[in-house]
Structure 1
Amino acid sequence: MNELKMQTISDMEKNILKVSTELFLNQGYDKTTIRQIAEECGIGRGHLYYYFRKKEDILIHIFKQILNKIYDDVIESNDDKTEVLLSYAIIQCVYTYTLVLNEKLFRIYLQGSNIEIVRRAAQNILIDLCKKKAEDMNYDVKEKDICFSVTIGYAGECELLKRYYHGEEDFDIDSIVRSIISTRLLLLNIIDHKQVDEIVDKAMVEAKKFDYHDIIAKFHYFKF
């Protein structure tokens, strides 16, 4: 079990998350209400609030599950499981390509990126992942640099992907992915530009090997 896994949750929480995922994908996060989620689950709003205090909390759990799925797929497929920076880069590649290949999921991501609590939660998930892997592999990375890497990288990611989603010229996805990964790796301050370029090149190649249709298809059947 990887370090991102959520704690064991009840059957009701699982049902709420599954119902919410379907509603968010089909009509968007912004247009989905707590009342709708509760009605689809066959419970009252008060009952739902017992499990999730806010709609944002549900979205955070869903994003965490998406990252869990991608993390597991990357780790399982990566022959060199000792290279934390390459795994980190591949995860970012796969995550970004997965988002842009599904318009509904992409829309949820962009809507979530406009919510401060969701943005901060997403950053914290990535910070924890990076810190844990750095510790496991004895990388001497300062916590401040990890925070800068993730926070600045995430801000740039959101802005670039937003422009890509709206069809702005000169924003092709491969260039965006390369820029995001390069920025994050450089801000860790443990490798130079040449090493960063080598890792990014490898990550881009590995990311192309994934079956994104299979990954996306499984989003409707999350094992929460």
Structure 2
Amino acid sequence: MLGLFRAGYRGIPALGAWIYKVSAGRMLRGFHRVVAEEVSSLVSQGPLLDAGCGTAGLLIEAGRIKCPPQGFIGLDISAAMARIALSEVRKAGLGSCVDLVVGDAHAMPFRSSSVGVAASTGTLHHLPKPPEFFEECRRVARSVCMVYEFSHDVPWREFSEGARRLSMPPLLMKLTSALHGIPRREFVYGADARALERAGVRRKVVFMGSVTLLRISR
């Protein structure tokens, strides 16, 4: 049964969570659908965790593909965001499939190796301590953690093809990526590359047009 559990919280207040729902949440639907198709195929043992789940867009799209027996878990530091996610999950008819937890992605309230696959979409650029997040991803995920971020420093043709794949207008996505994303260069020789080194995790960076995927594994 769907529940909302609290493990300490702060984060986006109620007004900000509502604005996210009516703007970014809808705009990112195509993005969440594509990511859901990718991560759902990886889940074999243990639930799928969405770290920084927001209004549960990724989990809803994954549930529309298939709700596995182990279900899904959404983690967000904002209680207001989690309450909206709870409502959205119920409206989607996935109340028996998803548990929501209010907690910090830097110190996830889960046992080691307790989830099959962890994922995050557009969360990393909000986090003040990336090395701790990377370490936690490796700790809780039994197989792999898939971290997705928009990147704007991409050749225009490649960027626009990626935007169309995600059902987003290229210019709008370019603006979104510049304001709420992480440039590719940061994963190659910038702050996130250094954070990955400090965390000491096994990883692979994959450039997929307008999206950068960071795969963290044991």
Asked whether the two chains share a fold, i.e. TM above 0.5, the reply is no
Q: Which has the higher contact order (CA 8 A, sep 6+)?
A: 1
Structure showing the higher helix proportion among its residues: 1
Task: Give the number of the structure whose alpha-carbon radius of gyration is greater.
Answer: 1
TM-score norm. by structure 1 comes to 0.30
TM-score norm. by structure 2 comes to 0.31
Structure showing the higher strand proportion among its residues: 2
